[in-house]
Amino acid sequence: MEWLADVMRSIMIVAGEASGDLHGATLATALRTLTPQCRLVGMGGPKMRAAGVEVREDVTAAAAVGWTEAVSRVPRLYGAYRRLTAMVARERPAALVVIDFPEFNLRLAAAASARGVPVVYFIAPQIWAWRGGRIRAMRRRVSLVLAIFPFEVPLYRAAGVPVEFVGHPVLDALTTAPSRVEARRQLGIADDALVIGLLPGSRREEIDRVLPIMREATARIGADPPPRFLVALAPTVTRETAACHLDHDGRLELVEAATYSVIRAADVLLVASGTASLEAAVLGTPMAVCYRVSRLTEIMSRSLVRVPWISVVNLALGRQVVPELYQANATGASLAAEASRLIRDAGARRAQSDAFAELRTELGDPGVGARAARCVLAAAGAS
């Protein structure tokens, strides 16, 4: 692999959300291990910056859900897009790695591929779930897809898009997660205490729409002695943003920078649909998933969605494993009922646990960052 020494230009990594920042950091760490001389630049957040990426743009705190929620972010995102496009033209990186964030990243991929820059898509759009027509754009603009689920490989190959299965990057991120005993010790929780964890999301709109439902649910969950309720805050969510929905409710404890500890320590989780539900499944904690978007976003999504589930756990397994409460069905009463069922019913918890074990085997093995990095370097060396 002597050609690696010739990759002297930068590699650009672009992520627009908190989960993408996490996965971009995993990739960046692996790239710097394999090729310390390669400069990493792009768009991301604090985790990518800590991993050695020269972060030129950061929109992770401004990420939105749905079309109507994203309107106010357009000027900021467009400004970031223009500056990144100019950087591609000026510096012509050896490769562009785009992570999730498809509305933005597919446009950036078009600008890069037009200038002869190889484009690697890590955490590609879920064409198997919705907006399948995007695969045509990917065939024109993307040099290589790094698949995170094994069932994605034949879909992309059939469409003529180069693809390699590397596994899901949460596997690497979760290698640092504490055990249940360690997590409870860190959080000051007795071994026999009943703990309900709340994971309300990483975006402001998610907090605004989901956390009040979760708070209402906690008031309806009865147990003796009362459970401890821990609200895990994503790095893009401030205490003030969450606290304004809790109305000084002393039963709910805000926990910062310890999401994996909350997941491990909890007996049951209330989770906003997203990466957190997959992390919870890999760590083995039973959960109920809830979500709400604006009415207009819901209407616009109906004609584009091709599957009956919203949770990545159910999507990946192709069946409903965790209960999903969406839109009008996402109420405090219904969420409390699902959580109470999981608390009481050992069989329901065991069914989820068995399905989570199946899911873990589908996601590959740890070392995803290193496998992805080798693919990126191969693409860069070919440019």
Cβ contact 167:146 at 8 Å:
no
Are 18 and 48 contained in the same domain? yes
Are 17 and 39 contained in the same domain? yes
Look up residue 1 and give its amino acid: M
| Residue 164 predicted with pLDDT over 50 | yes
Are 124 and 37 contained in the same domain? yes
Give the count of beta carbons closer than 10 Å to the beta carbon of residue 160.
10
| Residue 30 predicted with pLDDT over 50 | yes
Are 354 and 369 contained in the same domain? no
- Tally of domains in the chain: 2
Are 159 and 186 contained in the same domain? no
Q: What is the CATH number of the domain that holds 64?
A: 3.40.50.2000
Are 59 and 10 contained in the same domain? yes
Are 340 and 375 contained in the same domain? no
168-200 pLDDT, tens digit each: 999 999 999 999 999 999 999 999 999 999 999
Using pLDDT thresholds of 50, 70 and 90, give the confidence band for residue 72.
low
Range of the domain at 70: 2-167+364-381
Distance CA 85, CA 114 (A): 11
Instruction: Tell me which of 354 and 125 has the higher pLDDT.
Output: 354
Distance CA 4, CA 256 (A): 40
**φ and ψ at residue 121, rounded to 5 degrees:** -105, 115
Edge-to-edge strand ranges of the sheet holding 287-291? 252-256, 228-233, 195-199, 268-272, 287-291, 324-326
Structure pTM?
0.85
| Residue 371 predicted with pLDDT over 70 | yes
How does DSSP classify residue 14?
E
How does DSSP classify residue 340?
H
Are 332 and 313 contained in the same domain? yes
**φ and ψ at residue 26, rounded to 5 degrees:** -60, -45
Give strand pairing partners of 57: 43
